[in-house]
Amino acid sequence: MSLAVKRDVGMDVAAFRLWAEARPDAERWELLDGEPVLMAPPRERHQRIVMNLAGRLDALAEPRGCRAVPNLAILSAAMDDFAPIPDVVVRCGPPLPDGYATDPLLVAEVLSPSTMSLDRGRKIDFYRTVPSLKVLLIVYSDEIRIEVWRRAGEDWGVTALGPDGTVTLPELDGSVPVRDIYRGLTV
């Protein structure tokens, strides 16, 4: 005999946005599979990687009328129960009226040991549904390693880079040496 368990229906993005507005400003929440998830304060090492990466990406993006911004939520019409907040988002066009982007060109997730399986699993599945997204960077914080996920038509390819690698970004007419992303850190 089998037992069917009915899963409670989670929040959609509209309900999450209303709910999140009432939360204290010091709290950062993302919506994953219909569930609000409180984001823990990141470690200093994590933040150093984010700052290095955001600075290099912003320098490449600005001449194209784009910018690198930390902590914007990403939305996709294909998955209305997700609003993840990656570490860095590159987008073009006018500034957003709020913290929700539907048009990222590039997204970067800096992995933390506690979020690695989620960031490399469900979030990648979600990001692949965002039509404007061309590049996804998965940046490891505990080793010098970056995965570059790039859209090629309907498919995605992935390349792993180590300490001597360079993240080539034709979308931004430039590149970033992997070592620059980890500048100021010991491994």
Q: Where are the domains of the chain?
A: 42-181
Q: What is the rounded CA–CA span in Å between residue 68 and residue 176?
A: 14
So what's the pLDDT on residue 7?
40
Q: Which residues of 139-161 are buried (b: 16+ CB within 10 A; e: fewer)?
A: bbbeebbbbbbbbeeeeeeeeeb
CA distance linking residue 120 with residue 8, whole number of Å: 25
Residues 36, 33, 150: CA angle, nearest 5 degrees = 115
User: Rg of the chain's alpha carbons, rounded to an integer?
Assistant: 17
Count, residues in the chain: 187
CA–CA gap between residue 184 and residue 52 (Å, rounded): 9
Block means of pLDDT (10 residues each) for the chain, 187 residues, are 47 96 92 93 93 98 96 95 96 94 97 71 91 97 95 94 98 97 91
- For the domain 42-181, what is the CATH code? 3.90.1570.10
